[in-house]
């Protein structure tokens, strides 16, 4: 399983628009083949910074999602709202204690 964390920083005036885009797409993302988990989080101190946290059965499943029309249309709506470059991390779990 792969964990994907993406840091998204928005212009404050675009946060509500982003939340609407996320609300419109979250069920479809969660239902995408290979997606096991999806969460949206907000930074404790920087209220214009959000993180998506998702879990995928494999890197192949994540890459299929990234090539999908769902991702392309959602990303196109989201990226124009940024005030900083997004940061994405794909992580393999090494150990759970």
> Is domain 2-92 in CATH 3.40.640.10, yes or no?
no
Backbone φ, ψ for residue 58 (5° rounding): -160, 165
Domain ranges of the chain: 2-92
Tell me, what's the pLDDT at 64?
97
Burial class (CB in 10 A: 0-12, 13-18, 19+), 54: buried
pLDDT in tens, 70-97: 999 999 999 999 999 999 999 998 998 9
Tell me, what's the pLDDT at 53?
98
Tell me, what's the pLDDT at 33?
97
Tokens of 89: 């991390």
Instruction: Judge contact between 84 and 14, C-beta under 8 A.
Output: no
Tokens of 15: 């946060």
pLDDT in tens, 25-76: 999 999 999 999 999 999 999 999 999 999 999 999 999 999 999 999 999 9
């Amino acid at each position: 399983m792969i964990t994907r964390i993406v840091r998204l920083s928005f212009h404050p005036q675009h946060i509500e628009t982003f939340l609407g885009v996320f609300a419109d797409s979250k069920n479809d993302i969660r239902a995408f083949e290979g997606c096991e988990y999806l969460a949206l989080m907000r930074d404790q101190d920087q209220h214009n910074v959000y993180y998506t946290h998702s879990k995928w059965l494999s890197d192949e499943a994540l890459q299929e999602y990234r090539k999908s029309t769902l991702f392309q249309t959602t990303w196109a709506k989201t990226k124009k709202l940024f005030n900083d470059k997004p940061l994405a991390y794909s992580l393999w779990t090494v150990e759970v204690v």
